[in-house]
């Protein structure tokens, strides 16, 4: 079953990467080869309340990562994703609540959103002329 599951994940990822209009995917691989350490698939969705596009991540898959390191790896992926979002005009990052605890989310800048998701505002700060 692990081989079949790995093939299914690979096919799903290839399908997502072949159709960028569906979203993006942050993939973490080992330096030794093409073994995955983590995968954060993201869908771009219009969000009326936030008045723009949001990157929505509802799943974080990590394999071969020591317990306790998965949250740090996820937050690193979120940082990379946030940079990508800013460069592509996506101003909000939404994460499923099960992906991070409050203690992990707050230092990274995530706040609870009314929808129950974690929200990271990626909008540029207003400039003060002085």
**CATH (residue range 2-121):** 3.40.630.30
Helix (H) or strand (E) holding 53: strand 52-57
Q: Is it the case that residue 1 has pLDDT exceeding 70? A: no
pTM, entire model: 0.82
Q: Is it the case that residue 51 has pLDDT exceeding 60? A: yes
Q: Is it the case that residue 13 has pLDDT exceeding 80? A: no
Going by their DSSP bridges, the two strands 36-47 and 61-62 should be labelled as: antiparallel
Domains of the chain by residue range: 2-121
- Per-residue pLDDT of 39-48, as tens digits, reads 899 999 999 9
- Per-residue pLDDT of 85-108, as tens digits, reads 999 899 999 999 999 999 999 999
Q: Which tokens hold the place of 95?
A: 């994460």
What's the confidence (pLDDT) of residue 22? Answer: 74
Instruction: Work out whether the CA dihedral 64, 106, 22, 59 comes out positive or negative.
Output: positive
């Amino acid at each position: 079953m692990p081989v079949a599951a790995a093939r299914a994940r690979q096919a799903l990822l290839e399908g997502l990467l072949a159709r960028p209009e569906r979203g993006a995917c942050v993939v973490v691989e080992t330096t030794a080869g093409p073994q995955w350490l983590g995968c954060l698939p993201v869908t771009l969705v219009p969000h009326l309340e936030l008045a723009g596009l949001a990157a929505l991540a509802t799943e974080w898959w990590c394999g071969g990562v020591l317990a306790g390191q998965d949250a740090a790896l996820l937050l690193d992926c979120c940082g990379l994703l946030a940079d990508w979002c800013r460069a592509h005009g996506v101003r909000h990052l939404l994460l499923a609540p099960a992906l991070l605890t409050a203690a992990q989310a707050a230092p990274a800048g995530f706040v609870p959103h009314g929808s129950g998701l974690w929200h990271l505002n990626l909008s540029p700060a207003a400039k003060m002329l002085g």
